[in-house]
Amino acid sequence: MLLTVCSNPDLLSVMYLVNQMINVLKIVAPIALIIAMMISLVKTVIANDENMVAKEKAKIPKKMIAMVLIFFVPTFIQVVMNIVDSSYEYNSCFVGATKENIAQAYLTKADNAVLKAEESLNYLDVEEAKLAINKLKDEEKQANYNERIDVVKETIKKKKEEEEAKKKAEQEQNKNDGSNVSGTGNLSTSGSYSSSGKGIAQPGVAQSREPDPSAAVNYWAGRKVISASNFVYPKDSKTGLPLGAWPKNYGSIPTQLTNYKTYGIFIMPTTPVDGVYNFVYEHNGIDFMAYFGTPIYSPVDGTLMYSEWGHTSNKGGDETAYSVSIKLNKAQTVQGQSVDTIFLTHMSGIRYRCSSTSSCNRKVKKGELLGFVGNAAGTSTSIGWAPHLHMTIYPGSNYNSGLTTWKIEAIYGMPKHAKGYKIKAGG
């Protein structure tokens, strides 16, 4: 409280004015009393009235005492203040209320206000800074601070223009995609691709061409591991190609995560079974064992390179194997290695269908829904049922040089080869 009062230039100015008034009264009041006393005495002498002269003479000591008191009262008050305020704290505010200290206080206030505006990039803080600058007497410093504030105003303007341009571009992109990435749900699908369950899904047989998604889901349903009635099979409105198997409740699934936790540039892409991560095996990438149909969100901001069926070696007869690749906006050094690409695979379905960066032609936001967890099975894993999301973080030129499992675990703050670690999509 004391520091606030004593460093406030406006309050110091009031204190300075009070000090000046006290100093003036100490001198003017006694002089005024002396003059008044002399005038009264002269009038009495002129009147030639001995009684009045005697009375006026009798008043002189009292008036002299009054003059002395007037002169010494401020000093007496100062002594009392020093006794009451032994640490001399509040009294020091009055003593420090000099022109030099007031000027310095105004300068400090202006400097703090300008720094706050530069950090916050907020128009209200800019206005506060301008008010503080206008009270400076030093024209050179005033001009210097005004130049800094002009830079802040220009930065705020550019930032606002960039945000508006980005928002407009996203709105246009979402309009073209026929989907909404800013809401929570509101996914649009173009109808069922198939519900017959027929196709080329065969256990342990690698796929040479894209299967009917419903055939794979019905195959798994026949093995009593999932219920086919819980899924739908939308198709891409532009190409008519399948988007895989989606949960039937897709309309309630958030399409854009908010309030997520960031681990460097990454967020957690999905939620494992019962929210618990368990290490599977060491390889280039990480596996999140999750329920079939669990939503998958973009772990980074970047550009969609492709989102389609394929691009994974272990395509068993009963897996649809949709994959997504994202190019980071800028290469990043992660765990001592430069990386610029994120690869997500073993997906039961994808939200966007495109085979190359040019055909995708879209930016993806961190936390944006990309697809759903699928299954990995067949020749390379020898696993009949293992729904999970595989994610690799790697240099765009060499998939095999991606970060190893334990390095990705470290990114997310998990112990090496962690088990029982509670996580959720977004972190």
pLDDT digits (tens, 9 = 90+) for 69-121: 666 666 666 666 555 554 445 555 655 567 777 777 778 888 888 888 888 88
Domain boundaries, the chain: 2-97, 101-172, 183-422
Region 50-78: mean pLDDT is 67
Region 17-28: mean pLDDT is 72
Residue 381 binned pLDDT confidence (cut-offs 50, 70, 90):
very low
* Mean pLDDT of the residues in the chain: 79
pTM: 0.58
pLDDT at 333 over 60: yes
pLDDT in the model for residue 230? 92
pLDDT at 3 over 50: no
CATH architecture designation of domain 183-422: Distorted Sandwich (2.70)
Tell me whether domains 101-172 and 183-422 share a fold: no
pLDDT at 174 over 50: no
Residue 295 binned pLDDT confidence (cut-offs 50, 70, 90):
very high
pLDDT in the model for residue 177? 39
Domain 101-172 has CATH 1.10.3470: no
Residue 341 binned pLDDT confidence (cut-offs 50, 70, 90):
very high
3-state secondary structure the chain: CHHHHHCCHHHHHHHHHHHHHHHHHHHHHHHHHHHHHHHHHHHHHHHCCHHHHHHHHHHHHHHHHHHHHHHHHHHHHHHHHHHHCCCCHHHHHHHCCCHHHHHHHHHHHHHHHHHHHHHHCCHHHHHHHHHHHHCCCCHHHHHHHHHHHHHHHHHHHHHHHHHHHHHHHHHHHHHHHCCCCCCCCCCCCCCECCCCCCCCCCCCCCCCCCCCHHHHHHHHHHCCCCCHHHEECEECCCCCCECECEECCHHHCCCECCCCCCECCECCCCCCHHHEEECCCCCECEEEECCCCCEEECCCCEEEEEEEECCCCCECCCCCCEEEEEEEEEEEEECCEEEEEEEEEEEEEECCCECCHHHHCCEECCCEEEEEEEECECCCCCCCCCEEEEEEEECCCCHHHCCEHHHHHHHCCCCCCCEEEECCCCC
More confident: 135 or 167: 135
Give 217-246 pLDDT, tens digit per residue.
Answer: 888 887 788 888 899 999 888 888 899 999
pLDDT in the model for residue 365? 93
Residue 10 binned pLDDT confidence (cut-offs 50, 70, 90):
low
